[in-house]
Amino acid sequence: MKLKDELIARSEGKCELCESTDNLTVYEVPPNSNGRTEDSILVCNKCLQQLDKKEDPDAAHWACLTTSMWSEVPAVQVVSWRMLNRFRHESWAADSLDMMYLEEDKLAWAKATGDHDNDASVELHRDCNGNVLQNGDTITLIKSLDVKGTTLNAKMGTSVKNIRLVEDNTEQIEGKIEGQVIVILTKYVRKA
C-alpha cells in the first residue's frame, strides 16, 4: 500500500490538522522525512503552504489545532505543537500549549527543526508595493539600475518577464535584461 493511501485510510480522507477534504497531500514531518507512515501526515494545500511558510499565516485557520493537538498520531501532535508555538502570542494558542503534553522523544522531535523558536511571520519576496512575487512573474523596474561588472544600464520602466526568486534572500530576484541574467533588488521592482 502506498504512503498516501495509508494516510488517507488513517485520516478518513481528511486533512489531519484542519479536517479539510480538498487538495490533500503527504507532508513528511521534518527531520524524520523517511517516507514512513508514522513520520508523515495528510494535509490540505492551505495547511501545507503555511507549514512551509509560503503563505502569510492565518490564525483563524489554525484554530483547528485545539482539536488536532489531541490526535493519537505522534506526527500530528508534533506538527500541532510547532504551529501552536508559531501562534503563541495568541491567547488560544498559549492556553493550548499549557494543556498539551508531549513525551520526551516526541518533544525532542518537535524541537529538532528549531521552528518553535520562530513566530508566525513569513518572509516572502515582495515588490516595492508589498505584493508577493512568484517564480515566473513579470515585473517592471521603478528605477534605472547600473549592473555591476558590466556597462549595462537597466532603464526605469524596463519590463522583465519570467523572473526567478533567489531562494535564500527575499530581497533579491533574478531576471534577464538584454540577454543577460542579473540579480535585481525587490525594492526596485513593481509587479506587472
> How does pLDDT run across 2-60, given as a tens digit for each residue?
999 999 999 999 999 999 999 999 999 998 777 889 999 999 999 999 898 888 888 89
Residue 122 has what pLDDT?
Answer: 64
Q: Is the pLDDT of residue 120 over 60?
A: no
Domains of the chain plus CATH, in order, are 3-117 (no CATH), 139-191 (2.30.30.40)
Cα three-residue angle 52-169-55, rounded to 5 degrees: 30
Q: In three state form, how does the secondary structure of the chain look?
A: CCHHHHHHHHHCCCCCCCCCCCCCEEEECCCCCCCCHHHEEEECHHHHHHHCCCCCCCCCHHHHHHHHCCCCCHHHHHHHHHHHHHCCCCHHHHHHHHHCCCCHHHHHHHHCCCHHHCCCCCCCCECCCCCECCCCCCEEECCCEECCCCCCEECCCCEECCCEECCCCCCEEEEEECCEEEEEEHHHEEEC
Question: What's residue 72's pLDDT?
Answer: 95
Query: What pLDDT, on a 0 to 100 scale, did the predictor assign at position 83?
Result: 93
Q: pLDDT confidence of 134, banded at 50, 70, 90?
A: confident
| Mean pLDDT, the chain, integer | 89
Percent of the chain whose pLDDT exceeds 70? 95
Residue carrying C-alpha cell 490564525: 59
Question: Global pTM?
Answer: 0.68
Whose cell is 508514522? That residue is 38
Lowest mean per-residue pLDDT among 42-46, 75-79, 111-115, 181-185:
111-115
Q: What is the mean pLDDT of residues 92-104?
A: 93
CA atoms within 13 A on the CB side of 111: 7
**Which comes out higher in pLDDT, residue 132 or 160?**
160
- Mean per-residue pLDDT, 86-114: 91
What is the pLDDT, as a whole number, of residue 151? 83
Per-residue confidence (pLDDT) for residue 116, from 0 to 100:
64
Predicted confidence band of residue 66 (pLDDT cuts 50, 70, 90): very high
136, 191 Cβ separation under 8 angstroms: no
Tell the burial category of 146 from Cβ atoms under 10 Å away from its Cβ (0-12, 13-18, 19+): exposed
Distance of CA 106 to the CA centre of its chain: 22
**Residues in the chain, total:** 192
